[in-house]
Amino acid sequence: MSPDGTSPGKGGDMGGYAFLFTALFSITLVFVLVKATGIALKLTGMDEGNALFQACSAYTSTGYTTSVAETVMVDELRRKIVAYAMILGHVGLVTIIITGCMTFMLSKGKHLPISIIIFVLSIIVILLVIFHTRWMLKLDNYIEKRLMRLPLFSKRGVHNINRFAQGYGLVKGYVTGDSSSVGRSLSDFKFEDIGSLVIGIRRGDTWISMPRAEEIIQPHDRIIAYGPVDKLKPLLGG
């Protein structure tokens, strides 16, 4: 018993638990940041699968020479997103390693197996959350809604793919989860009235070529249309 009335190992054991919860918090935070980075890249026009893959590559500092990676380099906003992700990835990895090691170094006696059990159970819970589709959709929609409030991303919801003569071109519009366009048909937007044509819709991994006027718009659709760019942009951004 020490002079202050505490047992010699109590402070170290409590410190071990403090590092344990810091490590678990860091793991959770890194996961959320990877999701946010993937969604941020998706809002710049990348496909969802490619955006998440590039986000994971950035946080793990794993380089891949692919055509998708090249699209990151030619876009200033994407370069900034990936650069910040790489920095945060290094900080997060170092934090997890240090706090994880300190947890097991400071946990002694009966506290060591307790720390291990808490760590393993927490990882299982995190994995269950990751693979729970409904929770992931709610998290994705929340992050997307927050990002779309930023001027940096709200301006990227609709952008040119290619521009031709006399103001005509290809325009891509991204439909957010809470967009007023969700649940409406293409005919509601009367594309033909402005001399435009919807060429296709990218829905997840599915490409809908020359969709019918009755096609219902769904969350996260990417609508590609041809017509007068100045008139298409406000129409697709609604």
- Specify the pTM: 0.63
Question: What's the pLDDT at 67?
Answer: 67
Residues of the chain with pLDDT under 50: 1-8, 238
In the chain, where the domains are located: 10-152, 157-236
- Six-digit token pair at 178? 């809470």
Enclosing H/E stretch for 37: helix 10-42
**Residue-level pLDDT at 2:** 44
What's the token pair of residue 93? 């990895």
Main-chain dihedrals φ then ψ at residue 58, nearest 5 degrees: -65, -45
The answer to whether 27 and 94 are in contact (CB under 8 A) is: no
**Res 109: pLDDT:** 74
Per-residue pLDDT at 238: 46
CATH of 157-236, one of 3.30.70.1450, 3.40.50.720, 3.90.45.10, 3.40.50.1110: 3.30.70.1450
Gap between the Cα atoms of 53 and 35, Å rounded:
10
In one-letter notation, the amino acid at residue 147 is L
pLDDT at 154: 59
Angle between helices 111-130 and 10-42 (to 10 degrees): 10
The per-residue pLDDT for 199 is 92
The confidence score (pLDDT) of residue 214 equals 92
> For the segment 33-53, what is each residue's pLDDT rounded down to a tens digit?
999 999 888 877 777 778 888
